[in-house]
Amino acid sequence: MVVGLHERGLFDWSEWAETLSAELKKPDVAQDGSDYYDCWLAALETIIRNKQIADVAEIDALSASWSRAARATPHGKPILLENDPHTL
């Protein structure tokens, strides 16, 4: 997703690196890197908000939709947003 947004010209790679680096340097980050994905996601959300690509409500709604889709998807099948039972 980050690469796709970058390729569309929504932010440059140095901006992504700086934003991710800032997340990784926060004092509450796990030293063993176990929360790297959480930092990556927080950096992506920060860029999306700062660039006004989406606001917090849109991000939260899409996240909830993906979670519902994941729960509704049979094991071993691809998780598709269309699987969200609230989109029917």
Amino acid at 56: V
Mean pLDDT of the chain: 93
State how far the Cα of 87 lies from the Cα of 80, in Å rounded to an integer.
Answer: 11
Per-residue confidence at 88, pLDDT binned at 50, 70, 90? low
pLDDT recorded at residue 77: 94
Map out the domains of the chain as residue ranges.
Answer: 1-53, 56-88
**What is the pLDDT at residue 72?**
95
Vertex 51, ends 64 and 28: CA angle to 5°?
Answer: 65
pLDDT digits (tens, 9 = 90+) for 28-66: 999 999 999 999 999 999 999 999 988 889 989 988 999
pTM over 0.95: no
Query: What amino acid occupies position 46?
Result: T
